[in-house]
Amino acid sequence: MKGKILVTGGTGYIGSHTVVELIEQGYEVVIVDNLSNSEREVVDRIEKITGVKPKFYEFDLKDQLKVDQLFATETGINGIIHFAASKAVGESVQMPLVYYRNNLVSLVNLLEAMQKYNVPNIVFSSSCTVYGQPDKLPVDESAPIKPAESPYGYTKQVCENILRDSIRAFAGSVHGIALRYFNPIGAHPSGLIGELPRGVPNNLMPYITQTGYGIREQLSVFGDDYNTPDGSCIRDYIHVVDLAKAHIVAINRMISGKNKADFEMFNIGTGNGYSVFDIIKSFERTSGKKLNYKVVGRRAGDIEQIWADTTIANNELGWKAQLTIDDMTRSAWQWELNCREKMQK
Ligand code: UD1
């Protein structure tokens, strides 16, 4: 065994893909998840893919006592990958306090336990949302942090600050890496895990695949009058498997002492910007389906365009996204087909 990693939110979309990569790299994995946005069955699916069943605890990280008990029981944890958080932008505007309590308190509880139980390393799920609409594209890690567009975005900014301040105060006993994700889409090639939004999806890719399958009637394209080549918004979409691999590299970096500062942050994207219409075209190419869509007004709070400068991640982490936009839409479609087939059985 390479070491023992606690993955919070390990049955969620990005968490489950990261658990698979960790196990395949020889790590022992312990998952904590409150199943607020995922299913227990994901643990069995991880076992189907890897042949190893990770240990699973179902509880909420806001519960400080349970967090403490976990670390008292699971001794010898070498690092934490902290995914567990609420992530719907619109919902965060409706329920800011739920987001502040959930996203901030969970991290505070983990950091207190890390200090008490001498857990040395943490990887944090951050987001390109911390940049707002950058003045310069592609955006690099030194870009100024703009006022957040939503309570969700604000929690990512505050969590990065909580990490920075605590790691400084812990004076070398805890190391952290924040990975600023761009737009993760796609699914594992096994077709056994992927994104499973509850209810009507907010994000583009699951909305497209559900429309392709006929669960949704039509995709609304939010605006074609932006200052971009085809008028729709531009994002840096990244395959979730590439993203998952970045976490392994980040945790390895700290475990092997290769980190250059106690707290570091990296952009995790492909470095390419694609428009909403590019994604639709890719989906039509890889699924062979014609997508029913119509252009509607802009979505409040949307950023016009953002894509990553990944030079630092590529050079420092020695990590680079490998998979193409067609790999992303193809695997997302395959996952949609598999899910629906299974539901009908
Ligand atoms: C948003 C958040 C991001 C968060 C992510 C995860 C912002 C600025 N970004 O990303 O921080 O990590 O959600 O939940 O808040 N679109 C349509 N029709 C749809 C859905 C989306 O046209 O039905 C368009 C959007 O206008 C956008 C693109 O597709 O241009 C991607 O949208 P989405 O998948 O929701 O991701 P972001 O808004 O980029």
CA nearest to 198, candidates 39, 16, 10? 39
Q: What is the pLDDT of residues 184-193, one digit of tens each?
A: 999 999 999 9
Q: Which two tokens stand for residue 128?
A: 């390109």
Q: What is the pLDDT of residues 57-114, one digit of tens each?
A: 999 999 999 999 999 999 999 999 999 999 999 899 999 999 999 999 999 999 999 9
Q: What is the pLDDT of residues 18-48, one digit of tens each?
A: 999 999 999 999 999 999 999 999 999 999 9
Q: How many C-beta neighbours within 10 Å does residue 240 have? A: 27
What are the distances in angstroms from CA 278 to CA 188, 209, 287?
22, 15, 14
Whose C-alpha lies nearest to ligand 1, atom 31?
A: 204
What stretches of 54-113 adopt beta strand conformation (E)?
A: 55-58, 79-82
CA nearest to 251, candidates 3, 24, 1, 46? 3
Where does ligand 1 bind, in terms of residues with CB under 6 Å?
A: 87, 89, 127, 129, 149-150, 153, 183, 202-204, 207, 219-222, 233, 235, 276, 299, 301-303
Whose C-alpha lies nearest to ligand 1, atom 21?
A: 204
Q: Would you call the peptide bond into 189 cis, given omega within 30 degrees of 0 as the criterion? A: no
Mean pLDDT of 200-220: 97
Q: What is the pLDDT of residues 251-260, one digit of tens each?
A: 999 999 999 9
Q: What is the pLDDT of residues 243-277, one digit of tens each?
A: 999 999 999 999 999 999 999 999 999 999 999 99
Q: What is the reported pLDDT for 102?
A: 98
pLDDT, averaged across the chain = 96
CA nearest to 201, candidates 179, 185, 181? 185
Look up residue 52 and give its amino acid: V
Q: Quickly state the pLDDT bin for 340 (edges 50, 70, 90).
A: confident
Q: Quickly state the pLDDT bin for 286 (edges 50, 70, 90).
A: very high
Q: Is 300 exposed, middle or buried (0-12, 13-18, 19+ CB in 10 A)?
A: exposed
Q: What is the reported pLDDT for 223?
A: 98
Q: What is the reported pLDDT for 292?
A: 98
Q: What is the reported pLDDT for 342?
A: 76
Residue 313: in which H helix or E strand, if any?
none
* Residue reference for tokens 């400080």: 64
Q: What is the reported pLDDT for 149?
A: 87
Distance 123 CA to ligand 1 centre (A): 23
Whose C-alpha lies nearest to ligand 1, atom 3?
A: 129
pLDDT at 298 over 90: yes
Which ligand 1 atom sits nearest the alpha carbon of residue 235?
A: 39
The residues carrying an active-site annotation are 152
Pick from 125, 146, 195, 202 the residue to mutate for probing ligand 1's pocket: most ligand atoms within 8 Å of its CB: 202
Q: Quickly state the pLDDT bin for 300 (edges 50, 70, 90).
A: confident
Q: What is the reported pLDDT for 341?
A: 82
What stretches of the chain adopt beta strand conformation (E)?
A: 4-8, 28-33, 55-58, 79-82, 121-127, 175-181, 183-185, 219-222, 234-235, 237-239, 263-268, 274-275, 293-296
Which ligand 1 atom sits nearest the alpha carbon of residue 207?
A: 23
d(CA 243, CA 153): 19
Distance 155 CA to ligand 1 centre (A): 17
Which ligand 1 atom sits nearest the alpha carbon of residue 276?
A: 29
d(CA 141, CA 144): 8
> What are the DSSP calls for 175-224, one per residue?
EEEEEEE-EEE---TTSS-----SSS--SHHHHHHHHHHTSSS-EEEE-S
Distance 152 CA to ligand 1 centre (A): 13
pLDDT at 313 over 90: yes
Q: What is the reported pLDDT for 345?
A: 63
